[in-house]
C-alpha cells in the first residue's frame, strides 16, 4: 500500500503575454513545494470562477496599460475577477501592472508620470514607517514602467520612491501590490534589454550597461528580500 500524500498546494500565476517568464518567483515557489498553474487572460483563457483550489494568486506585469480595459478583453476580465480574489481572502500579489490593476479595482487612478518620465532599471525604494515590517532598509529594485498608481483608499503605503511615490502597498491582511519586478533575474533582464531596446531611449530609463552593473550590485539583496516576503506572505 502506498503511503498517503496530500496534494501540493496550488498557486495561480496570471501572465499577460504568452512568452512571459515568472523567473525568480517561479523558482522560489517551486522550491517551497508549490504547484504553479498559469493563466493567460489576454490570450483568451478564462480566469477561475472559484478560488477554493488555490492558496494564492500572483498577477504579473506586461507592456499594456491597466487603463486598456476598453480595448483589451483580458484587462477587463482581470478587473472584474480581482474582487473575487479579495473576497476569498486568499493571498494576492500584484506585480507592476498587477499592482496597478489592483489599485484600479480599489478605486485609485493609474497615470503616466506628470513629466513623461519612465522608471526603467534599478531604482531605490524607501520603506514607510508601516512598511518597515516588510522592508527593513532601503532596497534597489528593478523597474520597467511608464505609469504609476495612486494609493487606494484603505490601503497602507509600504514603500515610496522619488520618481513614482507609491511603490508598494497592502490592502487588508494579505493583498499586496508592488510597482517593481521581483521576478526579474539576469535572464529576463537580458531578454527585456533586447526586446525593449527602444524603451531605453525614453527619458528616465537607464542604459543597458548601467542596468547590468546595477544588477551585479543589487540583485543579491533583492533575492534575499523576496525570500523573506514569500515566507511572510503565506
Kindly list the catalytic residues: 96, 181, 183
Q: What is the pLDDT of residues 103-127, one digit of tens each?
A: 999 999 999 999 999 999 999 999 9
Give the per-residue pLDDT at 5.
43
User: Global pTM?
Assistant: 0.94
Instruction: Domain ranges for the chain, please list them.
Output: 10-233
CA distances from 54 to 4, 8, 12, 44, 48 (A): 21, 10, 7, 21, 10
**Which residues, 6 or more positions from 196, have their beta carbon under 8 angstroms from its beta carbon?**
120, 144
Q: Which fold has domain 10-233?
A: Rossmann fold (3.40.50)
Select from 192, 143, 167, 211 the least CA-distant residue to 17. 192
Using the structure block, give the residue that is written with the C-alpha cell 508620470: 113
Distances (CA, A) of 30 to 52, 68, 230: 20, 32, 12
pLDDT, tens digit (0-9, with 9 covering 90-100), for 131-151: 998 998 899 999 999 999 999
Residues 171-192, buried b or exposed e (16+ Cβ, 10 A)?
Answer: beebbbbbbbbbbbbeebbeeb
Amino acid at each position: 500500500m502506498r503511503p498517503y500524500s496530500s496534494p501540493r498546494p496550488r498557486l495561480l500565476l496570471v501572465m499577460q503575454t504568452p512568452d512571459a517568464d515568472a523567473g525568480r518567483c517561479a523558482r522560489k515557489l517551486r522550491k517551497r513545494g508549490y504547484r504553479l498553474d498559469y493563466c493567460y487572460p489576454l490570450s483568451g483563457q478564462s480566469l477561475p470562477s472559484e478560488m477554493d483550489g488555490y492558496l494564492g494568486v500572483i498577477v504579473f506585469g506586461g507592456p499594456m496599460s491597466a487603463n486598456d480595459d476598453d480595448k483589451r478583453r483580458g484587462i477587463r476580465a482581470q478587473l472584474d475577477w480581482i474582487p473575487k480574489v479579495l473576497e476569498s481572502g486568499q493571498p494576492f500579489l500584484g506585480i507592476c501592472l498587477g499592482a496597478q490593476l489592483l489599485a484600479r479595482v480599489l478605486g485609485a487612478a493609474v497615470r503616466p508620470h506628470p513629466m513623461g518620465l519612465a522608471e526603467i532599471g534599478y531604482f531605490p525604494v524607501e520603506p514607510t514607517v508601516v512598511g518597515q515590517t516588510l522592508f527593513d532598509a532601503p532596497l534597489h529594485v528593478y523597474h520597467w514602467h511608464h505609469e504609476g498608481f495612486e494609493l487606494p483608499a484603505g490601503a497602507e503605503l509600504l514603500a515610496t520612491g522619488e520618481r513614482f511615490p507609491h511603490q508598494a502597498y497592502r490592502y487588508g491582511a494579505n493583498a499586496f501590490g508592488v510597482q517593481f519586478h521581483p521576478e526579474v533575474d539576469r535572464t529576463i533582464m537580458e531578454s527585456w534589454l533586447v526586446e525593449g531596446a527602444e524603451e531605453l531611449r525614453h527619458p528616465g530609463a537607464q542604459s543597458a550597461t548601467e542596468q547590468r552593473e546595477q544588477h551585479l550590485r543589487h540583485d543579491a539583496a533583492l533575492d534575499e528580500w523576496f525570500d523573506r516576503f514569500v515566507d511572510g506572505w503565506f
